[in-house]
Structure 1
Amino acid sequence: MAPNMYSLNVPYIKTLHKQPYPALSPTRPEHSQAGRTVLVVGASTGIGFATARAFVQASAFHVILTGRRGAVLADAVSQLRTEAKAGTTITGVVSDMADLQDSEKLWSELAEKGTAVDVLVLSALSTGEGKPLLQADLGPTWKAFETNVRGLLDHAQRFSKQGKQKNKFLVNISTTAIHNVNEVGSHPAYGMTKNSGTLLMQLIAKDTDPEDLQVVSFHPGSVLTEAVRSAGFDETSFYWDDVNLAGQFAVYCASEAARFLHGRFIPVWWDVDEVKTGEVRARMESEYHFLRLGVIGV
């Protein structure tokens, strides 16, 4: 989707970003992923690939990419291997997030190899059919649910049950379409299912100690990805954001520096220093529902 950046431009944030900036850098010591194994689901291209790249830059021990298309995934892995420093292993696994057999195979093979995941990033998505819900075929709409909701829960449950039970990080790449349904245009199934998936993450966080499992959802910005192009957009359609902004923000969300964001949703544009020390932080501490999904007015 290509939402308007200013839908989340609020008076209590003075600085907005469309490109990476120093406070977000994955090479900062407080954002280091050294010693961690990171699984990025849906990482062959676009935001998922940029996320995997940022974790490589953050010196992760092992970065695992998944994707549905073997050749595209292999290219992504090959490219990251040329960029990685010594000490970082990069592997790819062909897997469809919406396929329960695929996810069972993925997590079983990780267990067999003794690979425990420390950070899980959920980036795969399905937009559904480009029609109003009553006119769309049920199949594509339900496929969006299988990817954007069931797939998240499936991977989150498997992640929570494997490896160590403390200091784990779950990052959900969401969208502004979860709260502004007018932005999804002809793809209402996208906003509906991403809303459900983000609420799912919020409820998981409610019942989880962030020192055991930190959960953060974020909007990755307006990025001209392959999926966005397939929806009819091009370079002239919008003032796009740098895809690496989202990738680096995911690393930030998987650090103790972002622990105060546990269970909340935040747009990638907001300056992290302002968020941490300014009015946003104050409202988080005083308003339980701030930056959480719910119904206003009830």
Structure 2
Amino acid sequence: MAPIETLSIIHPSVPTLHKTPYPAISPLRPELSQAGRTVLIAGGSTGIGFAIARAYVQAKASRVILLGRREGVLKKAAATLASEAADKTATTVDAVVCDAADLADSERVWGQFKNEGGFIDVLVLNAATTGAVGPLLETKVGDTWRAFEVNVRMLLDFTQRFYNQEGLRKKYLVNISSSAIHSFDRDAAMMPAYGLTKNSGTLLLQQVAKDVDRSNMQIVSFHPGGVWTELAESAGVPKETYDWDDENLAGQFGVWAATEDASFLHGRFIPVHWDIDEVKKSDVATRIGTDKFFLKIGVIGVTEAK
């Protein structure tokens, strides 16, 4: 969720665009219930990640695990959600300190989950960094490589660990991507390391989805909209500059993406703004069924000879 992602992405056959939550993606819908599931949210203590965690609590997940580096912020977020869940759902909310981009820390935490005998049903990949601001040739190589470690390697590490869990239940992976993966003239131009690495991370999961049946592990990537977050503030974007999207739109969409209703988007990327009911009835759904490259990362204008 780059701080400059504020313009809705349009499609002619999906006329309705949303900036706030709407009924079709409400976590209160019985069809979207997360009852009986354990949900792990990497980067779940603030902003979009916290909104997603809140939506999973509302959807009655059995356990929501917030993962992050800052213990105080994590505990405060978990306490807030636990308070909201009281007398409404039986959701347990846990805070686990972890630097998701640190392989040793990741090994420790996933080993802990395994030792507990638990099973992660839903993995939400929200942790990210903007990387250095400025042209790639004018920034430090180490800063750009750090963005790869967070925005790409971490996705591969967590996805492998998630996929290799012992158990036969279907797994749902939700990737919080970015409009910067395709908006090269605007978003990626301002923060090229962010666009480069978010593109790479989304392509990585696209490739994983190609090799995994959706009945085993469903993978959906989405652009969360332009949301005022710590990431936006730290990048120096004035809050009054844009008409920001409601973080709960992405939050509730993050629950919908982990349901059978979203299975047709396996391996695809979709903007959070598009009305889902219209998408399913439009030529967007038709093209998904007939065009294996639609809503995927690739080079437009090049076709292999047959």
Q: Same fold (TM over 0.5)?
A: yes
CA deviation string 1:90-141 (max 9, x = no partner): 1010111110011101100011111110000000001111121011001111
Deviation at 1:285, TM superposition (A): 1.1
Letter in 2 for 1:115: G
Contact kept? 1:129, 1:136, Cα under 8 Å: yes
Equivalent residues of 1:224, 1:233 under 8 A apart: no
CA contact (8 A) 1:50 1:244 kept: yes
Give the aligned partner of residue 134 of structure 1: 137
Alignment partner, residue 94 of structure 1: 97
- What is residue 5 of structure 1 aligned with on the other side? 7
Q: Which runs of 5+ in 1 are unaligned?
A: none
Establish whether residue 49 from structure 1 lines up as the match of residue 76 from structure 2.
Answer: no
**Counterparts of 2:243 and 2:51 in 1: how far apart (Å)?**
19
Counterpart CA distance in 2 for 1:184 and 1:12 is 26
Question: Please, what TM-score do these two structures have when normalized by structure 1?
Answer: 0.98
Equivalent-residue separation in structure 2 for 1:178 and 1:279 (angstroms)? 23
Q: Which residue number corresponds to residue 253 of structure 1?
A: 257
Structure 1 position 234, deviation (Å): 2.7
Q: State how far apart, in whole Å, the 2-side matches of 1:90 and 1:48 are.
A: 14
1:166, 1:211 within 8 Å by CA — same for their partners in 2?
A: no
Contact 2:188 2:196 in 1 (8 A): no
Q: Would you say the 8 A contact 2:6–2:244 is kept in 1? A: no
| 2: CA distance, partners of 1:4 / 1:83 | 29
Question: Would you say 1:226 and 2:227 are equivalent positions?
Answer: no
Task: Verify the 8 A CA contact 2:233 2:239 in the aligned structure 1.
Answer: no
Q: Is the 8 A contact 1:266 1:291 kept in 2?
A: yes
Q: Which residue of 2 aligns with 1:14?
A: 15
**In the TM superposition, what are the counterparts of 1:173-188 in structure 2 within 5 Å?**
173-182=176-185, 183-188=187-192
- Cα distance in structure 2, aligned partners of 1:3 and 1:39: 25
| Structure 2 counterpart SS, 1:115 | coil
Q: Match for 1:52: what amino acid?
A: A
**For residue 78 of structure 2, what is the amino acid of its counterpart?**
V
How far apart are the structure 1 equivalents of 2:115 and 2:72? 25
Give runs of aligned pairs for residues 203-222 of structure 1, distance below 5 A. 203-222=207-226
* 1:39 counterpart letter in structure 2: L
CA RMSD of aligned residues (A): 1.0
When structure 1 is superposed on structure 2, of 152-161 and 233-242 the one drifting more is 233-242
Q: Deviations over 1:71-103 (max 9, x none)?
A: 011110010000113421110101111100111
The runs of 4+ residues in structure 1 deviating greater than 6 Å are none
C-alpha distance in 1 between matches for 2:114 and 2:158: 14
Tell me the secondary structure at the aligned position of residue 239 of structure 2: coil
Matches of 2:5 and 2:82, distance apart in 1: 33
Corresponding position: 1:155 with 2:161: no
Note the C-alpha offset of 1:165.
3.4
Q: Which amino acid aligns with 1:219?
A: H
Distance in 2, Cα, partners of 1:10 & 1:270: 8
Residue range with higher mean Cα deviation, 99-108 or 164-173: 164-173
The one-letter code sitting in structure 1 at the alignment partner of 2:238 is D
TM-score, length of structure 2 as denominator length: 0.95
Instruction: Compute the displacement of 1:282 (Å).
Output: 0.9
Q: Is the 8 A contact 2:147 2:197 kept in 1?
A: yes
* Cα separation, 1, equivalents of 2:257 and 2:299: 25
**Contact in 2 for aligned 1:127/1:190 (Cα 8 Å):** yes
Separation (CA, whole Å) in 2 of partners of 1:211 and 1:111: 23
Aligned to 1:73: 74
Stretch moving more, 8-17 or 30-39: 8-17
Partners of 1:278 and 1:88 in 2: CA distance: 36
Structure 2, unpaired ranges of 5+:
none
Name the SS for the 2:131 alignment partner: coil
The equivalent of 1:33 in structure 2 is 34
Q: May I ask how many residue pairs the two structures share in their alignment?
A: 297
2:41 touches 2:126 (CA, 8 Å); kept in 1?
Answer: yes
